[in-house]
Chains A and B, each alone.
Chain A
């Protein structure tokens, strides 16, 4: 599904944010990416999004080599990927319904389908009642649930989450993780960057640990490794 071979990324010459990364993620996997601040986790996510191009090495997603992907093919590629960020990134001037409908407008979905899918996505994250509310009227946890609804409304094959619980208390963090796990249960490949030790240890998923741009451990049913 996702394969990185000898991927190196230098933002400025000589300083590698990622240094020769090799990583293989199969379809339907749930993977935690952990590591110190600055170890290159977000860089990895952005490379998979094709928001950045690697300095060297190849990235293949769904059989497509990202290095050779033409600029105009990027939108279609991204439609197969849902993203969630630490800071939610909702549109403040639109209500919840519009925020999720927006994700479908962007992909030129017809209004008829939008009307069906938005409520379905909202009830998946347990916010069916709040569709008229604006982001500022919701708690952080609720906002992040909206962001997840937006990420899954187009039924992507891959879900990327960069510290989705970074701004949330433990209860809300767990709710968000459960939603991501549910998406994974429906067949979506899920990649979660997190600093939340408790959750990582509890969930017993695959854990990839990074340090200074390299992968230092990769364990099936692993835990949060502090020593590295």
Chain B
């Protein structure tokens, strides 16, 4: 296609949108809603994932030893655990370290309160392994495996946290995929309608074009541009909107629920948009193209 033809087709595409404003606006609006929700879910899911990931790093199984466990036994347990499926890291905590941590957690600033216990470590027998999971869903297996090892006395684990995190994460994923899929279908349908409308309105012009010897591509191009344009506008509007809303929302959550500050950490908008921007635009372009191209193939037998 020549550049002048390309320019002409684009101009006609823009004119098409102007000619059936109501349909175009409806299409852009639905597209916007679709991509907005997509962006919203994406932001929620990716943040949730991020939070879960962070939380998972903290989720650990603590493995305590029998009183008479030997050092060799302890080393062996460590090695076995490190090899287990889903385990990220195994960390040996000596009795002294365990006590130090305990002090830090419980006495905090007023460390002198703990002075009294100084020479008589109440956790003398509490050296242990902290087992960090790479994959929380494997936690139950690892616990079972650890229990079967010689020299293991007891295991402390945060079952509920692990299970909830995994299932919520999965649920949010499914729901968002379903909603976005429905919206995609609606958007394609509406763009398809808009383009059909444009074709109907311009039947006569199309007939004349064909008499004069227009190639199929020339007849179709303005409609494809129309669809693409609706798609792109319908993507840019929600992406811009979401960009500003995202920051505001995080600020709001952080100030309203300052409690969460310590536990939860949100992704910065830039890192969300590194993926969301290209995917959102691609979605817009894709929906616009699919919605118009196949409609034209169906209604514009040239």
A residues adjacent to B (C-beta < 8 A): 49, 51, 72, 74-79, 81, 83, 89, 91, 102-103, 105-108, 110-111, 150, 154
Contact = CB atoms under 8 A, between A and B. Distances in A.
A81 B213 CA distance: 9
Nearest to B205: A91
B211 A75 contact: no
Contact of A49 (B209, B211, B214, B218): B211
Nearest to B2: A108
B20 to A, nearest CB: 13
Contact of B204 (A72, A74, A89): A89
Contacts of A78: 210-213
A89 B214 CA distance: 16
B253 interface: no
B165 to A, nearest CB: 58
B213 A77 contact: yes
A89 B213 contact: no
Contacts of B298: none
A106 B212 CA distance: 7
Contacts of A91: 204-205, 208
Nearest to A78: B213
Interface string B189-215: 000000000000000110111111111
Nearest to B209: A106
A107 B204 contact: no
A116 to B, nearest CB: 14
A20 B51 CA distance: 81
Nearest to B204: A89
Given A89-B208, A91-B208, A105 B213 contact: no
Contact of B212 (A51, A79, A111): A79
Interface in B199-257: 204-205, 207-216, 218
A105 B204 contact: no
Among B1, B211, B214, max chain A CB count under 10 A is at B211
A106 B213 contact: yes
A110 B214 contact: no
B258 interface: no
Contacts, number: 52
B117 interface: no
A74 B211 CA distance: 10
A110 B211 contact: no
Contacts of B215: 72, 75
B4 A110 contact: yes
Interface string B1-19: 1101100100000000000
Contact of A76 (B4, B210, B211, B213): B213
Nearest to A107: B213
A107 B212 contact: yes
Contacts of A83: 211
A100 B120 CA distance: 103
29 contacts: A74-B213, A75-B215, A75-B216, A76-B213, A77-B213, A78-B210, A78-B211, A78-B212, A81-B213, A89-B204, A89-B211, A91-B204, A91-B205, A102-B208, A105-B4, A105-B8, A107-B212, A107-B213, A107-B214, A108-B2, A108-B4, A108-B5, A108-B218, A110-B2, A110-B4, A111-B4, A150-B212, A154-B212, A154-B213
The 8 tightest CB contacts between A and B, nearest first, are A78-B213, A79-B213, A106-B214, A75-B215, A75-B213, A106-B212, A103-B212, A108-B5
A89 B216 CA distance: 20
A110 to B, nearest CB: 6
A110 B204 CA distance: 24
Among A49, A77, A83, A103, max chain B CB count under 10 A is at A103
Contacts of A108: 1-2, 4-5, 218
A91 B2 CA distance: 23
Contacts of A103: 212
A74 B210 CA distance: 9
Contacts of B214: 75, 106-107
A124 B295 CA distance: 41
A79 B210 CA distance: 10
A89 B205 CA distance: 8
A162 to B, nearest CB: 11
Nearest to B1: A108
Contacts of B216: 72, 75
